[in-house]
């Protein structure tokens, strides 16, 4: 055991957020929780049948984690509104970020979404999108962005962050350092950008600076290789972008999360062992793997090996776990006991 009172397996698992198939606490999901000790799960439409089923699922996974001696789980979902909204009827449907006309619209979205999350047990929203693209640019994110003006994106995104978090839901701003000026979908392959650091600082960065000022809980990295900033690694595996730019230059001390490591941008170019090596080195806290499969167990084993590795990597590892557990203490301490009396708080 260690200063966090967690086993090596638990320390390794805290670095993972995973997707799964099914609508209930099935054997695969139990395996992720009791054997791989994952720190969080991410939900998709494939996991949701109804509000009552969703509530039962969220409560059962938290109770099961507690019964296994686990800290509470991050339970996340992509609920941006518009084209990316995993929650359908009877949950509130919003027209999407491009259709927001005012700060009041953003606040209303955050307040209602937080209320509905609290009713079901979801505690983290992979939103808002803080990407921005010049007017008229055929961006892959065109139907998901607030607009083409960094100041406007900052205002609306900041209002969403504030209202979600005031309502008790952790917000995750994405996709750092910005993918608005991208035309290739990173779900399919690895986009390469020729933007300079100055380009990004002047146009893409302001919304993320606002997110940090608003004390956003997490920031998700993009799967773009910015060849004039880091010639070798995409943002989600880059020390230059995740550690130097986001942590050191901007001073962000919250959770840093990869985008889905199953996406083509990573899957077609990097094996999971190398990806996890890079994630630890770059001070990225959570590896997001959105589909069930052997990759999750392989990632767990690599994380576990890192705990016994040389001192510098071990210190990096423990610093990430400390951030994760501190966020859970701040946001999930209310999950001490469920209706049946099962302790599902942080041990």
Task: Provide the pLDDT for residue 106.
Answer: 98
| Residue 36: Cβ within 10 Å count | 21
Q: Is the overall model pTM greater than 0.85, yes or no? A: yes
Pairing mode, strands 79-81 and 16-18? unpaired
Question: Containing domain of residue 214, as a range?
Answer: 14-331
- The answer to whether the beta carbons of residues 297 and 36 sit under 8 Å apart is yes
Considering the domain boundaries, does residue 100 fall inside one?
yes
Strands of the chain, DSSP E = 16-18, 40-43, 74-77, 79-81, 84-85, 124-125, 170-176, 192-193, 218-221, 225-226, 255-257, 287-289
Least Cα distance to 175 among 239, 232, 129, 110 occurs for 129
| pLDDT score for 270 | 94
Evaluate the CA torsion angle 208, 211, 212, 216 in order and state its sign: negative
Interaxial angle between packed helices 311-332 and 294-307, expressed in degrees from 0 to 180 and rounded to the nearest 10: 120
pLDDT at 314: 77
pLDDT in tens, 103-113: 999 999 999 99
- In this structure, is residue 35 part of a structural domain? yes
Catalytic residue among 78, 105, 204, 259: 259
**19 burial class (0-12, 13-18, 19+ CB within 10 angstroms)?**
buried
Q: At 327, which CATH number? A: 3.20.20.300
In a domain, 6, yes or no: no
Residue 149 lies inside a defined structural domain of this protein:
yes
Q: What is the DSSP letter of 203?
A: I
Model pLDDT, residue 4 = 56
Catalytic residue list contains 338 = no
CA distance 280 to 270: 15
78 is catalytic: no
pLDDT digits (tens, 9 = 90+) for 38-56: 999 999 999 999 999 999 9
pLDDT score, position 340 = 44
Residue 7 lies in a domain: no
Split at pLDDT 50, 70, 90, the class of 313 is: low
Q: Report the number of distinct structural domains present in the chain.
A: 1
Alpha helices in the chain (DSSP H): 8-13, 27-34, 51-67, 103-120, 150-166, 197-199, 205-213, 264-267, 272-281, 294-307, 311-332
Tell me what pLDDT residue 101 has: 94
Q: Is residue 345 part of a domain?
A: no
Q: What local confidence, expressed as pLDDT, does residue 310 receive?
A: 65
Quote the percentage of the chain above a pLDDT of 70.
94
Of 181, 176, 96, 106, nearest to 143 (Cα)?
A: 96
Q: Is residue 347 part of a domain?
A: no
Sign of CA dihedral 270, 272, 278, 282: positive
Q: What is the pLDDT of residues 144-165, one digit of tens each?
A: 999 999 999 999 999 999 999 9
pLDDT at 287: 98
Active-site position among 28, 149, 185, 187: 187
CA pair distance 257, 16, nearest whole angstrom? 10
336 within a domain of the structure (yes/no): no
**346 pLDDT higher than 90:** no
């Amino acid at each position: 055991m260690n200063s966090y009172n967690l086993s090596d397996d638990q320390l390794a698992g805290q670095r993972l957020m995973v997707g799964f198939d099914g609508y209930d606490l099935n054997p695969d999901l139990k395996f992720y929780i009791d054997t791989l000790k994952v720190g969080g799960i991410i939900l998709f439409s494939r996991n949701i049948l109804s509000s009552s089923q969703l509530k039962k699922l969220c409560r059962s996974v938290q109770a099961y984690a507690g019964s296994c001696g686990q800290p509470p789980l991050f339970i996340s979902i992509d609920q941006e509104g518009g084209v990316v909204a995993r929650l359908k009827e009877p949950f509130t449907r919003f027209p999407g970020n491009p259709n927001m006309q005012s700060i009041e619209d953003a606040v209303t979205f955050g307040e209602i979404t937080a209320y509905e999350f609290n009713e079901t047990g979801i505690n983290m929203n992979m939103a808002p999108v803080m990407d921005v693209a010049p007017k008229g640019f055929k961006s892959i994110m065109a139907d998901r962005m607030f607009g083409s003006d960094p100041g406007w994106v900052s205002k609306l995104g900041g209002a969403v962050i504030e209202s979600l978090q005031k309502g008790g839901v952790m917000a995750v701003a994405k996709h750092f350092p910005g993918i608005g000026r991208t035309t290739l979908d990173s779900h399919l392959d690895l986009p390469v950008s020729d933007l300079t650091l100055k380009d990004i600082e002047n146009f893409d960065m302001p919304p993320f600076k606002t997110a940090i000022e608003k004390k956003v809980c997490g920031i998700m990295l993009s799967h773009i290789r910015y060849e004039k900033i880091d010639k070798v690694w995409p943002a989600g595996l880059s020390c230059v972008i995740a550690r130097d730019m986001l942590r050191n230059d901007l001073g962000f001390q919250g959770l840093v999360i990869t985008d889905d490591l199953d996406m083509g941008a990573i899957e077609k170019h990097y094996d999971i062992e190398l990806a996890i090596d890079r994630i630890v080195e770059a001070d990225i806290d959570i590896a997001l793997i959105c589909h069930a499969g052997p990759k999750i167990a392989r990632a767990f084993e690599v994380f576990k090996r890192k705990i016994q590795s040389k001192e510098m990597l071990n210190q990096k590892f423990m610093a990430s776990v400390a951030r994760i557990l501190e966020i859970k203490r701040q946001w999930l301490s209310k999950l001490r006991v469920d209706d049946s009396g099962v302790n599902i708080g942080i041990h």
